[in-house]
Amino acid sequence: MPNPANEQKLKSEFGSIPQISDFIEKYMVPGKPTYIEKAGLDPREAINLIHDVGGIAVLAHPCFDVPVGDTATIKVLRDWGIDGIEAIAPFKTIEETRPKIDYFTQIAKKCELLITGGSDYHGIDGIGAGLGLLEWGMKIEDEILENIKDYYHSLTQVSEKGQHLLTIV
């Protein structure tokens, strides 16, 4: 429900109710009054943290972040210890998705990385794709799931107390 007091403040400052982009540009970009620099991890730190807690580090939806032909980025991430690539992931359209899946699957194999996949499902009301997306040719084959499971088990070893601990080798 609109707040008349806030609407009046916005109108006096902007001349009208601003578009969100105008508001962000005036207040929330570097050098503006309410900008707060994002804190985060660089990729190497993220990979190490994931490994430290026993996880498998995977590059999520590279179809959006890594241009086709950019093998250098994948190789750097591999050298930093990334374990896999989410090669099977939706892109903008069905027609654009299949070539991206093929490309990132090939790169994962060439770099000896796990192939993973997902529909980018964020819940019924969430952003992104719907759960599954079989019509997009995104079936995760049993072999891929077995490879992930085998890889995970290859990272485990028995401790002196006989308990299974996850370690990165």
CATH of the domain at 55: 3.20.20.140
Please list the residues that pair with 59 across neighbouring strands: 85
Owning domain of residue 16: 1-39
Mean pLDDT along residues 127-152: 72
Q: What SS3 state is found at 146?
A: helix
Same domain, 50 and 129: yes
**Over the chain, what is the mean pLDDT?**
80
In one-letter notation, the amino acid at residue 16 is: S
pLDDT at 84 over 70: yes
Distances (CA, A) of 108 to 48, 53, 57, 129: 20, 23, 13, 23
Quote the crossing angle between the two packed helices 4-14 and 20-27, to the nearest 10°. 70
Per-residue model confidence (pLDDT) at position 122: 59
Contact 119, 130 (CB under 8 A): yes
What is the rounded CA–CA span in Å between residue 91 and residue 98? Answer: 9
Reported as a single tens digit per residue, the pLDDT across 146-164 is: 888 888 888 765 334 344 4
Same domain, 151 and 74: yes
List all residues 6 or more positions away from 28 whose beta carbon is below 8 Å from its beta carbon.
34, 35
Same domain, 77 and 107: yes
In one-letter notation, the amino acid at residue 87 is: A
Reported as a single tens digit per residue, the pLDDT across 18-31 is: 787 787 888 888 88
Burial 140-158, CB ≥16 within 10 A → b, else e = eeeebeeebeeeeeebeee
For the chain, the domain total comes to 2
Reported pTM: 0.64
Same domain, 85 and 140: yes
Q: How confident is the model at residue 167 (pLDDT cuts 50, 70, 90)?
A: very low
List all residues 6 or more positions away from 91 whose beta carbon is below 8 Å from its beta carbon.
63, 64, 97, 100
